[in-house]
Structure 1
Amino acid sequence: MDDSLFEGFRTERVRTSGADLRCVVGGSGPPVLLLHGYPQSRHAWHRVAPSLVAKGFTVVAPDLRGYGESTALDPDGAEAYSKRTLARDQVELMQALGFTRFAVVGHDRGARVGYRLALDHPERVSAYASLTVIPTIEIWDRVNRAFAFNAYHWFFLSQPFDLPERLLAGDPDGFLAWTLRKMADGRDIYDPRALAAYHAAFRDPAVRHAMCEDYRSAMTVDAEAESADRAGGRRLACPVLVLLPETSLAASPHPLDIWRSWADDVRGASVASSHMMPEDVPDFVVGQLVPFLNGAR
């Protein structure tokens, strides 16, 4: 895939104990791991990563296991795509690149990998930023008609193998175009090169299968793990920044109050934006991240 969106970055492939991960790496200074969401790849960060490098950070932006150009060595089963497994991938990736402690910024599915990483490996994570999400178990506790209608893919992709895989194969380009347009609230926010990367990946049956397994894990092993965390009182030890579209603020309880039940140090900000904050409002994202990351050094 074309990495010209990341001028001055190098592209690397790193094998972990369970996956081959493709990533871009750039800059110097404190390391920041950027984790993308569904249905994207590392290219989702092309408007954020260069700005963080310019502000003095080292940036690592991988494709999550099964997404983009990253592959799982054993691609079957919800456990293979649990957030615990994906978080372990990132620890091993950063270790291979020479980073034992780093900040984590995640959007959408990447944010879910990010807080699992912070819970399971607190010694690794200096700070955590969540874009657009609350913990998965908190979602399941609050599912209503509006959520089910707007987040239809949670329920479709998590259906048993291989129903969604078969249906997605009928028109992958059409499904992805619809999904990306809806998640951007119909706005023209995508760079053509990023769109080309998303479509190229989604045409691969293995990538579509990985996305389904990702959502199946949310229904099963991820929910079970988070239920155990909550029951046991496990909390994120690092500072937490929560960035939200303004439309999220109408939820009750407030998303920041939900996060404060998971961490002691939580701050947040909102902006008029679609779900796709890294591509929709990159200046806002960078403007919030830089002082937060500098303060957490």
Structure 2
Amino acid sequence: MTAELGPVVQVEAGALSVGLVDLGPSDAPAVLLLHGWPYAIDAFAECAPMLVEAGFRVIVPHLRGYGSTRLLRSDAVRNGEPAALAADAIDLLDALGVQSAVVAGFDWGARTANVLAALHPERCRAQVAVSGYLLSSQESNATPLPPAAELAWWYQFYFATERGRRGYETFRDDFARLIWRTASPRWAFDDAAFARSAAALDNPDHAAIVIHNYRWRLGLAEGEQRFAEVERRLAQRPVIAVPTITMEGDANGAAHPEPAAYRDRFTGPYEHRELTGGIGHALPQEAPRAFADAVIDADRMAPTRMAPTGMAPGSARRGTSEGAAHAR
């Protein structure tokens, strides 16, 4: 059974009021943990305390459209494109006064870590990325895959329809449970762990952001013009020079690339770790010790350990704890 992560606080950062858990000393070296879809910050509930014990400040934000994270403007685009999620991460580091962090994630979170490592290496001391290199573009996604590979993307095509949008809004929890089971077929998660994460999907912007993400990938939805240059750079599949550990479970039922397919994208210190024993897509939640160890080791791979960088005085407004009330 997965433990609860901790109290959620609110921080205004860029376009968002971000709900996050902030653990460990504020002046310790920072780790930014990024979840994916349809998961939540609870995916890191067991590995985050391990990182605090190892001497890190651990920052775990709800992505836009999850938990208590909210867009500050009611007329803002409910944008799920990769460049927007990466901008959110940079804005959060700025708001917290963190100059550089080890960035680690899975699913959407791994893709965001890739963006930061590729385009903002000064902010990404090292990275841990489940399923490796996930940067792509609308152009590359336009290339058809063999039928067996396309089958794994059934929900992407479902979301391209109005029926799919309404279906996801109506059956959100059922949808998430199905994805958990198919992406991690050997993971015996319990109802309590699922319920804690599923509660984070009850966000007024969640469905719109998820639908936009997958429609944008297929070229069926436009991104924001302010991110056009970032997406152009990402479409060139830039190399990543920051120290990196990529990870994969032996029972990942979600679409994911083979490690050999992305090895040449990493030009700095690099290691790939393959986990056995039935580990699926939600690797930090299924193998928290292995994930925490990867973060610790990635930090050690950097040339020198950076001086502690905590929250700058007055740089963020922190609220009270939240009320009781081709890869994926």
TM-score range normalised by the length of the shorter chain: 0.7 to 0.9
Letter of the structure 1 residue corresponding to residue 8 of structure 2:
T
Query: Residue 150 of structure 2 corresponds to which residue in structure 1?
Result: 148
Aligned residues between the structures: 286
Letter of the structure 2 residue corresponding to residue 98 of structure 1:
G
Contact kept in structure 2, 1:108 and 1:133, CA below 8 Å: no
- Per the alignment, in what secondary structure is the counterpart of residue 185 of structure 1? coil
Contact kept in structure 1, 2:14 and 2:92, CA below 8 Å: no
Query: Residue 244 of structure 1 corresponds to which residue in structure 2?
Result: 248
Output the CA distance in 2 between the equivalents of 1:253 and 1:118.
Answer: 19
Query: Residue 217 of structure 1 corresponds to which residue in structure 2?
Result: 216
Output the CA distance in 2 between the equivalents of 1:217 and 1:173.
Answer: 23
2:290 to 284, 294, 297: 284
Question: Structure 1 residues 35, 225: CA separation in 2 closer, same or farther (over 3 Å shift)?
Answer: same
Point out the structure with the larger helix share. Answer: 1
Question: Structure 1 residues 238, 136: CA separation in 2 closer, same or farther (over 3 Å shift)?
Answer: closer
Query: Residue 21 of structure 1 corresponds to which residue in structure 2?
Result: 18
Output the CA distance in 1 between the equivalents of 2:295 and 2:256.
Answer: 25
Equivalent residues in 2 for 1:266-281, closer than 5 Å: 266-272=270-276, 273-281=279-287
CA offsets 1:97-118 (integer angstroms, 9 cap, x no match): 2211111001100111111122
Equivalent residues in 2 for 1:162-201, closer than 5 Å: 162-190=162-190, 192=192, 194-201=193-200
Which segments of 5 or more consecutive residues in structure 2 lack a partner in the other structure? 306-328
Letter of the structure 1 residue corresponding to residue 169 of structure 2:
A
Q: TM-score, normalised by structure 1?
A: 0.83
Asked which structure has the greater RCO (Cα within 8 Å, sep 6+), the reply is 2
Output the CA distance in 1 between the equivalents of 2:171 and 2:121.
Answer: 42
Q: Aligned-pair distance for 1:53?
A: 0.7
Question: Structure 1 residues 223, 257: CA separation in 2 closer, same or farther (over 3 Å shift)?
Answer: farther
CA offsets 1:200-251 (integer angstroms, 9 cap, x no match): 23344531222112222333459995664454x7322311110012357xx9
Question: Structure 1 residues 223, 188: CA separation in 2 closer, same or farther (over 3 Å shift)?
Answer: farther
Output the CA distance in 2 between the equivalents of 1:173 and 1:187.
Answer: 18
Query: Residue 235 of structure 1 corresponds to which residue in structure 2?
Result: 239
Q: TM-score, normalised by structure 2?
A: 0.76
Contact kept in structure 2, 1:35 and 1:62, CA below 8 Å: yes
Question: Structure 1 residues 68, 183: CA separation in 2 closer, same or farther (over 3 Å shift)?
Answer: farther
Letter of the structure 2 residue corresponding to residue 152 of structure 1:
W
Q: Aligned-pair distance for 1:25?
A: 0.6
CA offsets 1:6-49 (integer angstroms, 9 cap, x no match): 2xx55321112211110001113210000001001111111111
Contact kept in structure 2, 1:176 and 1:199, CA below 8 Å: yes
Contact kept in structure 1, 2:118 and 2:238, CA below 8 Å: yes
- Per the alignment, in what secondary structure is the counterpart of residue 17 of structure 2? strand
CA offsets 1:127-157 (integer angstroms, 9 cap, x no match): 0110124324288468332332223223323
Query: Residue 129 of structure 1 corresponds to which residue in structure 2?
Result: 128
Query: Residue 113 of structure 2 corresponds to which residue in structure 1?
Result: 114
Output the CA distance in 1 between the equivalents of 2:116 and 2:66.
Answer: 18
Output the CA distance in 2 between the equivalents of 1:196 and 1:38.
Answer: 15
